[in-house]
Amino acid sequence: MAQPSPVKVLEVCRVAPPPLSPDSTVPKSLPLTFFDMLFLKFPPTQRLFFYETSHPTNTFLEIIVPKLKHSLSVTLQHYIPLAGNVTWAQDYSKPIIKYVEGDTVLLTVAESEIDFYSLSGDNFRDAQNFNPFLPCLVGTETQVPVFAIQVTLFPNVGFSIGYASHHAVLDGKTTTMFMHSWAFICTHDGDSTLTPELTPLYDRTLIVDPSNLKMAYSNFWLGKDEPGNKSLALGDMKAPPDTVLGTFLLTQENIENIKKWVFFQWKKKQLQNSSVHMSSFVIIAAYTWICMVKARQIMAGKVYLSINVDCRGRLPTIPRTYFGNCITSLSIDADLDELTGEDGIATATKVIGEAIEGLKDGVLEGKENLVSRYATIPPNRLFGIAGSPRFEFYKTNFGWGRPRKVETISIDKTRDFSLSDSRDGSSGVEIGIALNKHESEEFVSVFTSGLHKTCIDT
């Protein structure tokens, strides 16, 4: 017998941007670049923002929801593609992002009696518990929406804003820019003016593709299931059974202690290399990768880490406000025995740092076979990273305070980990973890004991 839903849907509506003015420079259609084609059939990015408020249902429906709807509509005039669809008609040689007058963003308004504080906590929770609070991108084989939103009230306690975004249209930087823009306009009572750093740039001529990466990625997707298949059906959007999500914090003190411990190990093993890139990100990625590898208890062999690299700033023609995907992937591998040994963190830091340092030779070098290369890696040996502390999720304030919690839910599909700034505004980093239940206990043990060891040894 099916269990009753923990969420009561109050309204399903569609929010449209205002009619475009004749002098609007926001395009109604956009080609997909090779950056976009890389993620053509990836599962949507799903994220939840939890806000602690004391509004009852009536106040929520009469004040908060109308304000969110109005500011969303105003914001969409700057982000018209979000109201459109990814389209790949049979007579089109390539998919495009297309907005037609009348297109909208689907907005679901709901209510739930679920424990707000448990759902927005840090302890490991069943991934399936988040599904009722997230929208889906419901499309066809020839057309898929770009964006969908769900706002859910927890009466007298708080509310959540969840979104699903099409990864072939939006990378993390662009999605975050939109959310900050929506929040900015909401706090300014619907004033349509955005600051320069929140105003998207749509110029696709800035993307140069000398190696014809777009053709390489397009051919991969066309031939993945059957030759010539133009289906836009997205990847499996269900998390594996028994998947749980948890949040862990690395403080700046933790990061510095790990860094000192790594330097000590390098000196001891004579691994010191002045060319290795040793940033806080490298330390965080290395430490979390090691903990994930140990928690999964993988047998001997190679394990892999995928790091998304923002090409804004690495390619001279592309500004920070560029709209769309502008990331490539950096693939790192290491022998399992080396990572799980006594100086595993030092080894992981070295291979990650060297790989990032190698980007100076060309961020797009050798990316022709990127998608097909990843397809050959056994999924249980591949670890990926979503999000970034630079996105400043916790600054997404719609006028009711900073989020109590921001949760990247879509890591549950591949059991990756996510990074974000910390809710208290410090220099620490929140790490979202997706594992199965029996692995989660091992992760807690490895994560905490590792911090204790690096603290004592330094």
Q: 131-141: per-residue pLDDT in tens?
A: 999 999 999 98
Look at residue 228 in the predicted model and tell me its pLDDT: 58
Residue 458 binned pLDDT confidence (cut-offs 50, 70, 90): low
| Percentage above 90 pLDDT, the chain | 73
Residue 230 binned pLDDT confidence (cut-offs 50, 70, 90): confident
Q: Which residues of 284-322 are buried (b: 16+ CB within 10 A; e: fewer)?
A: bbbbbbbbbbbbbebeeeebbbbbbebbeeebeebeebb
- Please give the residue that has the higher pLDDT: either 223 or 351: 351
Residues 49-88 pLDDT 10s: 999 999 999 999 999 999 999 999 999 999 999 999 999 8
Cα–Cα distance measured from residue 42 to residue 371, given in angstroms and rounded to the nearest whole number: 11
Mean pLDDT (the chain, rounded): 91
**In this structure, what DSSP letter does residue 142 have?**
S
Q: Residue 420 belongs to what H/E stretch?
A: strand 417-421
Is residue 1 over pLDDT 50? no
Rounded to the nearest 5 percent, the helix, strand and coil shares of the chain are 35, 25, 40
- pTM given for the model: 0.95
Look at residue 271 in the predicted model and tell me its pLDDT: 60
- Least confident among 88-92, 266-270, 454-458: 454-458
Sketch out the chain's domains with CATH numbers.
7-224 (3.30.559.10), 243-457 (3.30.559.10)
- Least confident among 18-32, 71-85, 387-401: 18-32
Look at residue 317 in the predicted model and tell me its pLDDT: 84
Amino acid at 50: F
Is residue 150 over pLDDT 90? yes
Look at residue 325 in the predicted model and tell me its pLDDT: 97
Tokens of 359: 């980007």
Is residue 444 over pLDDT 60? yes
Q: Where are the alpha helices (DSSP H) in 270-389?
A: 280-296, 336-339, 344-357, 370-375
Amino acid at 170: L
- DSSP output for 43-93: PPEEEEEEEE----HHHIIIIIHHHHHHHHHHHHTT-GGGGSEEE--TT-S
- Please give the residue that has the higher pLDDT: either 146 or 269: 146
Question: Which residues lie across from 248 on neighbouring strands?
Answer: 431
Cα–Cα distance measured from residue 203 to residue 200, given in angstroms and rounded to the nearest whole number: 10
Look at residue 96 in the predicted model and tell me its pLDDT: 94
Residue 454 binned pLDDT confidence (cut-offs 50, 70, 90): confident
Residues 355-369 pLDDT 10s: 998 888 789 988 988
